[in-house]
């Protein structure tokens, strides 16, 4: 099946020139939306993935990010009573997802590459695969710890920090023929949860930019003033690449607890109070989250951001409503 998709993809590439995100940002006359999708679980039909992408195409996103999820492990009880550790891959590969999207729609894709769980040689192999397929954009991220681990543990023959991965990609560019990669990296307006303070975290971000990153996409936030302060601090620190804000609308009351736990972010009190006031009315909560994110997006566009990045997390209806209103 993968070779079938790749065949379509390669025929598609013969008729289209991909663009770097840095070029898109430089040449765009107005701000645009970008989308991030999660690779589907094993067994999901390809058409279901493509239909999800189709819902966004009427808004002409310039590119689609495809996230990378670490392999997981399970423990299986053996006949002798001991437990053995087994690798579990629950999702379709990023290569297959990128190929499926680009073979169907005229849009660039940005696969995410993470340090976690991979050796330097394995990550280099990924770069060769993407270059072979004509993909010229990647997001370089450290990645999260695997389930059950409290702290991130790098592969013994891999990279500990994202700036090391960015440097490795730039070295790969120097040593291989053809076009270099355009590299995006992550930024944290409310700091990465492992950073001691925001100043230290911005220093870490500058290391990624100095290593060769072309632009930054931020973690989601719910207070635009947090983003504007972060942007100012980045500029003062000498980070001059484009910074793209990332948004996600709240859609359930449960997310008021889950998102701060998962992403180490704050949700403004006025928003939590509105959701609490809605009580068990799920539709009301959904609309509150939608309206809040829509106002965030409008305000960001008024402030001249180059683009707005949306974390879909498997949801399309609320994101398309915002895009329809704002773009």
Tokens of residue 49, six digits = 């993935």
User: Has 36 been annotated as catalytic?
Assistant: yes
- Helices marked H in the chain: 2-13, 21-27, 46-57, 94-104, 120-132, 162-175, 198-211, 224-236, 255-263, 269-278, 282-302, 317-326
Q: What one-character-per-residue DSSP string does 51-89 give?
A: HHHHHHHTT--SEEEE-----EEEEEE-TTS-EEEEEE-
> Which residue in the list 36, 94, 164, 190 is annotated as catalytic?
36
d(CA 234, CA 187) in angstroms, rounded, equals 10
What's the sign of the alpha-carbon dihedral 121, 70, 234, 199?
A: negative
Using only the alpha carbons of the chain, give its radius of gyration.
Answer: 20
* Inter-residue contact 145 to 152 (CB < 8 Å): yes
Tokens of residue 93, six digits = 């590969």
**CB within 8 Å of 232: residues ≥ 6 apart:** none
Report the catalytic residues. Answer: 36
């Amino acid at each position: 099946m993968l070779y079938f998709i790749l065949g379509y993809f390669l025929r598609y590439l013969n008729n289209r020139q991909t663009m770097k995100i840095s070029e898109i940002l430089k040449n765009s006359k107005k701000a645009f939306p970008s989308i991030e999708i999660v690779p589907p679980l094993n067994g999901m039909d390809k058409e279901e993935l493509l239909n999800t992408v189709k819902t966004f195409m009427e808004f002409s996103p310039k590119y689609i990010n495809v996230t990378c999820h670490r392999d997981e492990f399970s423990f299986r009880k053996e006949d002798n009573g001991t437990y053995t550790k087994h690798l579990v891959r629950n999702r379709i590969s990023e290569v297959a997802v990128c190929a499926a999207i680009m073979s169907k729609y005229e849009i660039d894709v940005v696969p995410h590459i993470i340090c976690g769980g991979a050796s330097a040689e394995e990550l280099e192999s990924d770069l060769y695969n993407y270059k072979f397929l004509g993909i010229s954009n990647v997001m370089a991220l450290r990645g999260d710890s695997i389930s059950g681990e409290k702290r991130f543990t790098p592969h013994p023959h891999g990279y500990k920090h994202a700036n090391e991965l960015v440097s490795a990609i730039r070295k790969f560019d120097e040593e291989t023929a053809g076009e270099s990669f355009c590299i995006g990296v992550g930024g944290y307006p409310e700091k990465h949860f492992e950073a001691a303070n925001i100043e230290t975290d911005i220093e870490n971000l500058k290391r990624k930019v100095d290593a060769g990153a072309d632009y930054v996409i931020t973690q989601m936030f719910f207070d635009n003033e947090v983003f504007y302060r972060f942007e100012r601090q980045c500029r003062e620190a000498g980070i001059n690449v484009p910074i793209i804000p990332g948004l996600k609308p709240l859609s359930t009351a449960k997310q008021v607890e889950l998102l701060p736990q998962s992403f180490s972010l704050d949700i403004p009190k006025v928003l939590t109070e509105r959701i609490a006031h809605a009580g068990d009315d799920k539709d009301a909560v959904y609309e509150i989250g939608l309206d809040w994110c829509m106002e965030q997006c409008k305000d960001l566009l008024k402030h001249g951001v180059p683009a707005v990045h949306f974390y879909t997390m498997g949801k399309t209806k609320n994101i398309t409503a915002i895009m329809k209103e704002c773009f």
